[in-house]
Amino acid sequence: MESFFIIINDVFNYGIFYFALSFVLINVVLGVFSARELIFYKKKNSFVDYGYILSSPLAPTVSLIVPAYNEGKSIVQSVRSFLSIYYNDFEVILVNDGSKDDSMQKLISAYSLEKVDFAAYEHIKLKTPISAVYRSTNKSFHKLVVVDKENGGKADALNAGINVSQKDLLVCIDADCIIEQSALLKMVKPFLEEKDQVIATGGVIRIANSCEVEDGRLVKPIVPDQFLPAVQVTEYLRTFLMSRMAWSRLNGLLIISGALGMFDKKITIACGGYNTNIVGEDMELVVRMRRYMQERGKKYRVIYIPDPLCWTEVPATVGNLGRQRNRWTRGTAETLWIHRKLFFNPRYGLLGVLSHPFWFIFEFMAPIIEFLGVIFFIVMAIMGYVNWEVFFKLLYTLYCYTVMVSVFSIVYEEMTYRQYPSRTDILKLLGTVLLEPIFYHPLTVLWAIQGNFGLFRNNKGWGKMVRNGFNEKVREEAPVPVQVKDTPAPSR
């Protein structure tokens, strides 16, 4: 029995220690790569005139696909905002995914819509059929296509949009996002400038809670006063500026956020579009597209753009945030499981040897290992086998490390886009950085564990999401911003 304890003790002591150490080192490496990529991107883009794409007949055409479910309160304004994006040749395909509210009626009257005989081919098999396709009789809205279909979920709505698309590239975006007007110009550029075929580009997602919004445009970024949204600001900065940029540089990205992503239409269709049977369809599509290219021996790239292109409202309550993180965990696990063939498979190059194992070990397994470590620690503490001096020294070191990483992400932001010029905002961010490891991180671990339990209970739901709406200054005639809705939380 003694040897059993020694094994358990070794596994936990050595295992968790070295796991944490490797996690720290990998993050340092990723941080360095990100910094290099950010500097390079900023330098490169200081020479760019995006106006060239605006007027060029050589620029690719773009379909903006917006799935919407019960968005009646803000749909008219959202569409207006999407139609005013800077780009020469694009269409906005709004897919009404069987909304139970008055979304369709509002769209029909606001944009003078009429049913048309649209000969859409089902490139991707849909779960529920398209009921009708609408176009506007008003030529000012000639870029708008409205697809009405029975409810089939977000992935199915996106697939319907892909089937109706008549352009070269696809942009999939959440209806409640605020998109920068130059977003398409910036996202298209990598498709034009890279020597290898670009199959997808993603933009950095920023947090819109508390920000000033005017007529569907974000006019002043503000760090929210509430703890949960504020802590997510640094979390998103860390994720996008310090991690995804590095993966983009390494060409090892596994995810393009479902809130905003641009895809090569031909490859998307060839891969079969979005998977309608899982909750992490955004990540799964990117992995599938990469796998498709890899299996055909084609050179390709998936690129992230550090510019703040899309602003979204994040959950502000523990319940909503928990449901969102629960769903993310399930999505990650499902994707990793579906593509388990990639795990340490050298045939898939960097994707198999590095990206997939990294996501499995440090994204999926990390909260589980952490949770087990905590339980083991509690048991050992009860038994009186904890060296408290060592414990506090290690804990303090780890705390300092997490604070340091978050402070670095704020420095990255300061040195690049500086979206929060106010001193108060920076102080707020630094404050959340100090509190995050104590109050926020344990919750994320708990939600991840719940997500795993949900996975085994075969929970396929998105969970109910309640939103507060943007801090929007609206003109009298503009629709009132959304207060409550049943749609899922914004994706990663």
Partner 1 sequence: MRSIAQLYRILVTTTLRACLLVGLVAVFGLPAFSLPSDSLANKPAEDFKLVKEKTGNAFERAKEAFSHYQPSGKSNPISRELLRVVFYFMASFVVCIFLMLILIVVNRIRQSWKTKKHAELKHAYENILVELLYSRESEPEAAYLLKPAEELKAENEADAGQWLVAEAPTAPLEVKASPARLADYFEAQELTKRFNRHVLVELILELHKNLSGATANTLRNLYIELGFDEDAKRALKRSNWSDKAKAVRELSQMGISEAEPAITKLLNHASSVLVLEVQIAHLKLNRETPFSFLDNTEVEITDWQQVSLLAMISHSPHFKIPDFSRWLSSPNDSVVLFVTKMVNYYNQLDASDKLIALLSHPNEKVRLEVIKSLGELEVAEAEQALINIYPTEPEGQQVAILIALGRIGTANAVIFLNNALQSPQFALVFNAAKGLLLAGQPGMDVLTESAKGDSDLQRIIKHLKDERI
Assess contact for 59 and 88: CB atoms under 8 A. Answer: yes
Nearer to partner 1, 33 or 69 (CB): 33
Shortest distance, CB of residue 490 to partner 1, whole angstroms? 27
Q: What are phi and psi of 480, to 5 degrees?
A: -70, 140
String of DSSP letters for 152-178: --HHHHHHHHHHH--SSEEEEE-TT-E
CB of 344 or CB of 484, closer to partner 1: 344
Which residues, including other chains, have CB under 8 Å from residue 384's CB and lie 6 or more apart?
none
What does the per-residue mask of binding to partner 1 show for 444-473, with x meaning CB under 8 A?
-----x--xx-xx-----------------
408-445 burial by CB neighbour count: b if 16+ within 10 A, else e? bbbebbeebbebbeeeebbebbeebbeebbeebbeebb
Stretch in the footprint of partner 1 (CB under 8 A) among 13-21, 235-243, 250-258, 310-318:
13-21
Cβ distance 446 to 319 under 8 Å?
no
User: Which is nearest to 351 in space by CA: 278, 302, 281, 280?
Assistant: 302
Interface residue with partner 1, options 353, 426, 443, 474 (CB under 8 A): 426
Beta bridge partners, 202, equal: 261, 304
Is 13 among the residues that bind partner 1 (CB under 8 A)?
yes
Min CB(209)–partner 1 separation in Å: 23
Distance in Å, CB of 37 to partner 1, minimum: 15
Which position has the token pair 């703890």? Answer: 227
Minimum CB distance to partner 1 smaller for 195 or for 475: 195
Which one of 54-62, 199-207, 221-229, 251-259 is the stretch in contact with partner 1 (CB under 8 A)?
Answer: 54-62
Query: To the nearest whole angstrom, how small is the minimum distance from the Cβ of residue 486 to partner 1?
Result: 30
Q: Which is nearer to partner 1, 9 or 105 (CB)?
A: 9
- The owner of tokens 């000639």 is 142
Which range in 235-243, 282-290, 297-305, 365-373 contacts partner 1 by CB under 8 A? Answer: 365-373
Least distance to partner 1, CB of residue 41, Å: 11
Residues 395-414 that bind partner 1 (CB under 8 A): 396-397, 400-401, 403-404, 407-408, 410-411, 414
> Tokens 């009646």 identify what position?
72
Binding characters for partner 1, 173-212, by CB under 8 A (x = yes): ----------------x-xxxxx-----------------
296 makes contact with partner 1 (CB under 8 A): no
- Residue 9 lies near partner 1 (rule: CB under 8 A): yes
- Distance between CA atoms of 56 and 76, rounded to whole angstroms? 30
Binding to partner 1 in span 239-268, by CB under 8 A: 266
> With binding defined as CB under 8 A, does residue 390 bind partner 1?
yes
Q: How far is the CB of 70 from partner 1 (least distance, A)?
A: 27
Q: How far apart are CA 122 and CA 397, in angstroms?
A: 56
Q: Which is nearer to partner 1, 154 or 265 (by Cβ)?
A: 265
Place of tokens 């002591």: 13
- Looking at residue 47, the DSSP 8-state letter turns out to be T
Angle at 71 between CA 90 and CA 131, to 5 degrees: 70
Residue number with CB closer to partner 1 (345 or 471): 345
What is the rounded CA–CA span in Å between residue 412 and residue 237?
8
Site string for partner 1, 309-348 (x = CB under 8 A): ------------------------x---x--xx-xxx---
CB of 441 to partner 1, least distance (A): 16
C-alpha separations of 48 from 44, 45, 146, 324 in Å: 7, 5, 34, 37
If binding is defined by CB under 8 A, does position 393 make contact with partner 1? Answer: yes
Could you tell me the sign of the dihedral formed by the alpha carbons of 108, 112, 114, 119, in that order? negative
Count of residues that bind partner 1 according to CB under 8 A: 83
Residue type, 71: E
Please state whether 291 falls in left (phi above 0), alpha (psi between -120 and 50) or beta. Answer: alpha
- Residue 392 contacts partner 1 per CB under 8 A: no
> What track of x and - describes contact with partner 1 for positions 100 through 139 (by CB under 8 A)?
--------------x-xxxx-x-------------xxx--
Residue 44 vs 473, nearer CB to partner 1: 44
Which tokens sit at 258?
């479902």
Where does this chain touch partner 1 (CB under 8 A) — which range of 253-261, 297-305, 386-394, 481-489? 386-394
Site residues for partner 1, 34-53, by CB under 8 A, read 43-44, 46-47, 49, 51-53
Restricting to residues 135-154, name those near partner 1 by CB under 8 A: 135-137, 142
Q: How far is the CB of 19 from partner 1 (least distance, A)?
A: 13
Binding partner 1 (rule: CB under 8 A), the pick from 296, 297, 346, 383 is 383
Nearer to partner 1 by Cβ, of 134 and 440: the residue is: 134
Q: Which helix (H) or strand (E) holds 93?
A: strand 90-97
Least gap, CB of 399 to partner 1 (angstroms): 9
Whole-angstrom distance, CA of residue 200 vs CA of residue 261: 7
Q: Which residues, 6 or more positions from 353, have their beta carbon under 8 angstroms from its beta carbon?
A: 344, 345, 346
